[in-house]
Chains A and B, each alone.
Chain A
Amino acid sequence: MAFIDLSAMRSATVLKLSLALLLLLDMSLAQGHGVRDRTRAEGLKRDTAVSASQAVELTLTLVEVEQQVLQTWVRTAATIDEAGRVLSATLCSDEQELLKLGQRVRAFPPDSKSSIYQARISALHAEDDCLHVEAKLAGKAYERSPLYVMEVITQRGRFLAVPSEAIIEEGERQIVYVDMSGEADAASAESADDVTDDTVDEKGHYRPRQIQRGLQGELYTQILQGLKPGEKVVTLGSFFIDADYKLKSSEQATSNAHHHH
């Protein structure tokens, strides 16, 4: 019993110490955030610069924000009839609302996409909360696979959109990097002390911007807020731009913090 009491006391002590440590840690974190917030407000870089040679190295690619046709490809597993002509599937997701008679279907056995078959939706029947779909192949399927992957190509309309890969997820927020070429000279002048020699003379400044997205299509995502037609966003290479921006921001924050103290 004495051993048990001792153990309980030790546990209680450990618990108290842990709580105290957590409180201290929380306070120091809060203080840390405060310092960072103050330094960020004063001096964080507002954009990141990439030289022409770096852009080539990164295969940095920009896309103009414009109206795009959005497609959603509804994918599901299907069985095939003995004649190798009709695919059948049951769809229970929200995407069932997108399906209509006559829509174009691409079908292939799951183990290879090498042999694509064309088909059309030939029948749709509601079954409880699901939808039974039949698609008739244009020709006979040669593969003796019991299952096929069915891709139904649905058109969602034209929307202001950017390529989906341009959008960087940051928790609940979505960010894109916008090309600030028009403001490159000013930005270069502002940041001339901070960047290497080969970047100051180059256009190619990119600034993060929060956007609000709408429909997500196969290649493109609808933009509800945050971008205007004609603006250019980074697609290929956005990850590197984001990393560079955050790294430089962090370095600058540290530098500013040292400067203040």
Chain B
Amino acid sequence: MFSHKFIVRQLLAVCIGLLATVGLSAQEIKIADPASVVVIVNRDSNDISFMDIKSHKIIGSVFLGNNVNPHMAMMSSDGRWVVTGGTRANKAYIIDVATLTLKKEIAVGFAPEHLAFSPDGRYYYQGNPDDDSVSVIDMVSLTVIKTIRGFAEPLNITFTPDGSKAYVANYGSHWVGVVDVSRHELLKKIHVGSAPAIASIDPERYLGGIKGVSNVSISNDGRYLYAADGDLGIVTVIDSREDKVIKKIPVGADPWRAFMSHDGRYAVTANNGDETISIIDLQSAEVVATLESGPEMMGINFAADKAFVISSTTGFLYVYDMKGLKSAGRIKIGEVQIETSTTDTADEKLYLASSTDNSVYVIDAKTEKVERVANVGLYPWGTHILDSKDNYCH
């Protein structure tokens, strides 16, 4: 039925395959389970380190190069890659998770910072705020296949659950860009609001250093988008089916972004202008509580029915009871500058990057017990866990 040559060739192919597999597993596999690690972005040591979630030991780190300054990292849904943008190197970096090796450096636009994967993991969108562009990287060929231009300081990128569209937040303006993912083209600009009349009186404040939209947060059902605008002090609700603004919710001054509670009930904005948080009930799209917080808020995490607000320069985590919608004290991390945090997939622990003491703090959300993991790298800037609901950056 089969020729002798064919059978020999098949046997040879199987043997080569086996050898390759055995060789690789014996020699190189360092992380067999991508869900078992916390990814740490070390800005000043220019590396990405990987910490075991259970033991809190650093498994290894991947050096990216001198003066790279990685900003944010994310793991692909198949657990195969970790990607990061090097802000000073104008490059994207692709790390093979299993072997902890740098697979590829890819030139992108100026000062890459925030990024996102399409839900199927096929495309990696890298925002380049100083270039007003987004680089589209094909994760199969590991090449830039397109550069989408026309943004205004693009920061965070949010894909719809079906992967058909991506929403790009423009911090240098007051609109959200809608990208058609099938063609990687900017389809539409959704204006979240107009610059106030005072802009003409005080253009330096309102037009000089614009504080626009840093992130577009998405509801659990994927239907609605919430874009906080710093200058306008509002959260604009967008219907993703029609890409139309359906409501503008006034919140505190200079909201950084809306952080979504995991149960899908609330969006919480960190208002750095008046050092408050606004809690928005997503059912009624109304602010149901405005609570005092601290200065320089960088992020909010949710776990154990609480919200943890990171006040960067004070070294405090402000805690809120999300059932009673009231303040629940604060946790002193130390005389340190704390940055951003991720929550584990069990919603039990937070992994907080602390830049000035080169540490990650592990916080038990229920007991509020804090454990320090020192020497994770220089100036840890952010953390990431596969499939966490709190994967964000500054």
- Interface flags for B74-108 (1: CB within 8 Å of A; 0: not) read 00011110000000000000000010000000000
- Interface flags for A75-102 (1: CB within 8 Å of B; 0: not) read 0000000000000000000000000000
Q: Does A169 contact B (CB under 8 A)?
A: no
Q: Does A159 contact B (CB under 8 A)?
A: yes
Contact B220 A113 (CB under 8 A): no
With A113-B119, A153-B79, A225-B9: A142-B143 Cβ-Cβ less than 8 Å: no
Contact of B222 among A104, A112, A140, A219 (CB under 8 A): A112
Contact A112 B98 (CB under 8 A): no
Stretch in contact with the other chain, from A34-42, A58-66, A199-207, A249-257? A58-66
**Most chain B CB inside 10 Å of its own CB: which residue of A112, A163, A225:** A112
Q: How far is the CA of A224 from the CA of B13 in the complex (A)?
A: 8
Q: Considering the complex, give the chain B residue whose CB is closest to the CB of A223.
A: B13
Contacts of B387 in A (CB 8 A): 106, 116-118
Q: Considering the complex, give the chain A residue whose CB is closest to the CB of B348.
A: A139
Q: Considering the complex, give the chain B residue whose CB is closest to the CB of A232.
A: B141
Q: Does B145 contact A (CB under 8 A)?
A: yes
Contact of B221 among A61, A104, A111 (CB under 8 A): A111
Contact A157 B21 (CB under 8 A): yes
Contact A163 B140 (CB under 8 A): yes
Q: Does A190 contact B (CB under 8 A)?
A: no
Q: How far is the CA of A158 from the CA of B263 in the complex (A)?
A: 39
Q: Does A160 contact B (CB under 8 A)?
A: yes
Q: Does A183 contact B (CB under 8 A)?
A: no
With A61-B145, A113-B222, A143-B264: A157-B17 Cβ-Cβ less than 8 Å: yes
Contact A224 B10 (CB under 8 A): yes
With A69-B80, A118-B386, A118-B387: A104-B13 Cβ-Cβ less than 8 Å: no
Docked complex: B54-89 residues within 8 A CB-CB of A: 77-80
Q: How far is the CA of A139 from the CA of B349 in the complex (A)?
A: 11
Contacts of A236 in B (CB 8 A): 138, 141, 145
Q: Does B33 contact A (CB under 8 A)?
A: yes
With A114-B221, A115-B264: A67-B78 Cβ-Cβ less than 8 Å: no
Nearest-CB distance from B30 to chain A (Å)?
A: 14
Contacts of B346 in A (CB 8 A): 138-139
Q: Does B219 contact A (CB under 8 A)?
A: yes
Q: Considering the complex, give the chain B residue whose CB is closest to the CB of A140.
A: B347
Contacts of A159 in B (CB 8 A): 17
Q: Considering the complex, give the chain B residue whose CB is closest to the CB of A157.
A: B21
Contact of B20 among A67, A71, A115 (CB under 8 A): A67
Contacts of A112 in B (CB 8 A): 161, 220-222
Q: How far is the CA of A69 from the CA of B348 in the complex (A)?
A: 32
Contacts of A115 in B (CB 8 A): 220, 262, 264, 389
Contact B78 A118 (CB under 8 A): no
Contacts of A61 in B (CB 8 A): 138, 140-141, 143, 145
Nearest-CB distance from B62 to chain A (Å)?
A: 18
With A113-B119, A143-B264: A63-B347 Cβ-Cβ less than 8 Å: no
Q: How far is the CA of A235 from the CA of B142 in the complex (A)?
A: 12
Q: How far is the CA of A118 from the CA of B36 in the complex (A)?
A: 11
Contacts of B161 in A (CB 8 A): 112-114
- Interface flags for B1-44 (1: CB within 8 Å of A; 0: not) read 00000000110010001001100100000000111000000000
Nearest-CB distance from A100 to chain B (Å)?
A: 13
With A118-B386, A138-B346: A158-B17 Cβ-Cβ less than 8 Å: yes
With A106-B387, A112-B222, A224-B10 already in contact, 5 other A-B pairs whose C-beta atoms are closer than 8 Å? A63-B140, A113-B119, A116-B77, A142-B264, A160-B13
Closest 3 A/B residue pairs (Cβ): A113-B161, A138-B345, A118-B345
List residues of B whose CB falls within 8 A of some A CB. 9-10, 13, 17, 20-21, 24, 33-35, 77-80, 98, 119, 121-122, 138, 140-141, 143, 145-146, 161-162, 184, 218-222, 262-264, 344-348, 386-387, 389
User: What are 30 sample pairs from A and B whose C-beta atoms fall under 8 A apart?
Assistant: A59-B146, A61-B138, A61-B141, A61-B143, A62-B141, A63-B141, A69-B80, A104-B33, A104-B34, A106-B387, A112-B221, A114-B218, A114-B219, A115-B264, A115-B389, A117-B345, A118-B35, A118-B386, A139-B262, A140-B347, A142-B262, A157-B17, A157-B21, A158-B24, A165-B140, A219-B121, A219-B122, A224-B10, A224-B13, A236-B141
